[in-house]
Structure 1
Amino acid sequence: MKIIVPMAGRGSRLRPHTLTIPKPLIPIAGKPIVHRLVEDITKVLKESVEEIAFIIHKSFGKEVEKDLLAIAQKLGAKGTIYYQNEALGTAHAILCAKDSMQGPVVVAYADTLFRADFTLDQTADSVIWVKAVDDPAAFGVVQLNEKNEIIDFVEKPKEFISDLAIIGIYYFKSAENLRMELQYLLDNDIAKGGEYQLTDALENMKQKGLKFVPGKVEEWMDCGNKNVTVDTNNRMLNFLDKDGEQLVSKTVVIENATIIPPCYIGENVVLKNATIGPNVSVGNHSSIENATIKNSLIQTHAVIKNAALDNAMIGNHAVFNGKFTNVSIGDYSVLE
């Protein structure tokens, strides 16, 4: 099994945090989004993953590439880097990894996390992960027949067709079939608004009689902007706490401080005269003094003093000293 992760977009809705680091590397409960994503996929597949191909923009730099290759290595897989330097759509992005498209493959966009427990239908040509939503008009949805097979893909339906939204994770039994359909779109310049879309390739495959079935997830967590990313961090902490995962490092220094779980506290964090939690992630080597923090995501090497924070997101190496509450400051920012 292989996993392909298109992630060439920076994530403009999550600025200023994505000005210095791509969105998929923003940590959720102590691990980058993309790390948690591929971990969760391997758990659902219940199969070994031989290769993880990351599709990035060349401008991300060698340090990001090194981090991504390390993520693959931790999962016992070979890591491969491909580049998409022009925003030409989802089909174009996936095809950038065509040299890795052999055998069964999962394609997963690195801006979403999920929780699921189901058995992959090995008889299907493709599985599309979906989640029932309250407002299907805001999403791409699938329509099912009485056999629980996907018979239609509809983008942002104006009238109710289905409430099963496509979350951006797909399984294909044959990566070769997918590659052929994607290449067909590019060769014949089948584009919408200058972009080549995966849904057009899926429709062509369906028309040829390939069997598509849904893979339903229990939880779908977005990381599109600051507020939903903080909320996703909160929800992930609660899942991990229920799973019994150790979330507080043994190297944390606590001086007259209280941790209200669930919280993730990284390596060599110093907490002094502080109340942390619930639902707070604090990255490695951060220092928090004279502060009360809840429902917040704080990255590495941050320094926070004299603060009362709620629904906050603080970047790497940021310094915050004050009494502001609902804040979002990026890497290396200073507010004091």
Structure 2
Amino acid sequence: MKIIVPMAGRGSRLRPHTLTTPKPLVKIAGKPIVHRLVEDLASMSDEVLEEIAFVIGDFGDTVVKELLEIAESLGTKGTIYYQEEPLGTAHAILCAADSMEGNIIVAFADTLFKADFSIDKFEDGIIYTQKVEDPSAFGVVKLNSEGVITDFVEKPEEFVSDQAIIGIYYFKEGERLRDELQYLVDQNIMNDGEYQLTGALENLKAKGARLKPGTVEEWLDCGNKDAIVNTNQRYLTYIQEQELVHDSAQLDNVVLVSPVYVGKNVKISNAVVGPYVSVGDNTIIENSVVQNSIVQEDSDIRRVNIENSVVGNHVVYRGRAKDLSIGDFTSVKE
């Protein structure tokens, strides 16, 4: 089994945090989004994970090193590919053509999920979906009476299906997908100026591939500040049985309202923290109340009362607020 993770986009909807950190490396409950994604995907298959192929933009050597360490932490090889131009989903996946052999999972690194199932490796392909209330904002799949996908419809104006495609796919033969992606590029078949994965899926289906839907229990968006705060809340709920306070954390006159994640060398004093709060490594919190928020690494916040907020890395914050989003290396004093 191989996992291919297209993640070249910076994530403009999550600015200012993605001005300094690619969105897939923003941390949820102490781990980057992409780390939690591939960790969950690896647990869905009983096959050996041979490789994780990351398709990135010009993110720099530090990001490359972090991604390779994520693969190593899962006991597998990491490979880095580059997408130099934003030419669509099909083009992004095709950048990892050399890794597209045998059973593969393709997962776009801007979403997390909760599921309790294993991959059926005998299916030609599985397109993972989630039932949504408003399908007009998503790509959806139509099914026949046997539960096989018959059509892919992008943002339908009239109701055709409520099963939205979440950006996670399984293919029994990666080579077949690779060939169809290459065909789109060779024939310059574009939609709105981009090569779209759905074009390759339609071709696979037309050539006899049985593509079936796989459903997830919960689909967690990481697209903007409110969404990522909600995803942090849900993830902390999933993992609250684990030990989430690091041994090196220093707590003095602190009330922790579970679930809370507290990283390495964190110092918290005279504070109420939680529920649903993640505090990154080396951060200081004093004389504060922090609820339903993410405070990233190496930050120093004092005398604040915040909720539904994201505080970036290396932030110095003094004052009061109820709902905010502060990017890296910011200083705010009231």
Q: Which residue of 2 aligns with 1:181?
A: 180
Deviations 1:62-89 (CA, angstroms, capped at 9, x unpaired): 0000000000001111000000010100
Q: Which residue of 2 aligns with 1:205?
A: 204
For structure 1, the 5+ residue unaligned runs are none
Which secondary structure does the structure 2 equivalent of 1:273 belong to? strand
Percent identical among aligned pairs is 57
Q: Which residue of 2 aligns with 1:30?
A: 30
Q: Do the aligned residues in 1 keep the contact of 2:304 with 2:320 (CA within 8 Å)? A: yes
- Deviation for aligned residue 1:135: 0.9
Which amino acid is the alignment partner of residue 11 of structure 1?
G
Q: Do the aligned residues in 2 keep the contact of 1:55 with 1:83 (CA within 8 Å)? A: yes
Which secondary structure does the structure 2 equivalent of 1:70 belong to? helix
The whole-number CA distance in structure 1 between the counterparts of 2:46 and 2:35 is: 17
Which secondary structure does the structure 1 equivalent of 2:176 belong to? helix
Deviations 1:288-312 (CA, angstroms, capped at 9, x unpaired): 0010000000100010000000001
Q: Which residue of 2 aligns with 1:52?
A: 52
The whole-number CA distance in structure 2 between the counterparts of 1:320 and 1:151 is: 53
The whole-number CA distance in structure 1 between the counterparts of 2:213 and 2:242 is: 30
Q: Do the aligned residues in 2 keep the contact of 1:118 with 1:215 (CA within 8 Å)? A: no
Which secondary structure does the structure 2 equivalent of 1:121 belong to? coil
Q: Which residue of 2 aligns with 1:221?
A: 220
Which secondary structure does the structure 1 equivalent of 2:170 belong to? strand
RMSD: 0.8
Q: Which residue of 2 aligns with 1:278?
A: 275
Q: Do the aligned residues in 2 keep the contact of 1:88 with 1:194 (CA within 8 Å)? A: yes
Which amino acid is the alignment partner of residue 173 of structure 2?
S
TM-score by length of 1: 0.98
Q: Which residue of 2 aligns with 1:312?
A: 309
Deviations 1:152-188 (CA, angstroms, capped at 9, x unpaired): 1111111111111100000011111011000000000
- Deviation for aligned residue 1:138: 1.0
- Deviation for aligned residue 1:322: 0.5
- Deviation for aligned residue 1:143: 1.0
Q: Which residue of 1 aligns with 2:111?
A: 112
Aligned length: 333
The whole-number CA distance in structure 2 between the counterparts of 1:282 and 1:47 is: 34
For structure 2, the 5+ residue unaligned runs are none
Q: Is 2:320 aligned against 1:323?
A: yes
Q: Do the aligned residues in 2 keep the contact of 1:234 with 1:295 (CA within 8 Å)? A: yes
Which secondary structure does the structure 2 equivalent of 1:181 belong to? helix
Which secondary structure does the structure 1 equivalent of 2:63 belong to? helix
Q: Which residue of 1 aligns with 2:89?
A: 90
- Deviation for aligned residue 1:122: 2.6
The whole-number CA distance in structure 2 between the counterparts of 1:89 and 1:65 is: 22
Which secondary structure does the structure 2 equivalent of 1:178 belong to? helix
Deviations 1:108-153 (CA, angstroms, capped at 9, x unpaired): 0000000111232233110011111111111111111121111111
Q: Larger deviation: 189-198 or 117-126?
A: 117-126
Q: Which residue of 1 aligns with 2:297?
A: 300
Which secondary structure does the structure 2 equivalent of 1:194 belong to? coil
Q: Do the aligned residues in 1 keep the contact of 2:103 with 2:121 (CA within 8 Å)? A: no
- Deviation for aligned residue 1:46: 2.8
Which secondary structure does the structure 1 equivalent of 2:122 belong to? coil
Which secondary structure does the structure 2 equivalent of 1:44 belong to? coil
Q: Once superposed, which parts of structure 1, at least 4 consecutive aligned residues long, lie more than 4 Å away?
A: none
Which secondary structure does the structure 1 equivalent of 2:113 belong to? strand
The whole-number CA distance in structure 2 between the counterparts of 1:34 and 1:45 is: 18
TM-score by length of 2: 0.98
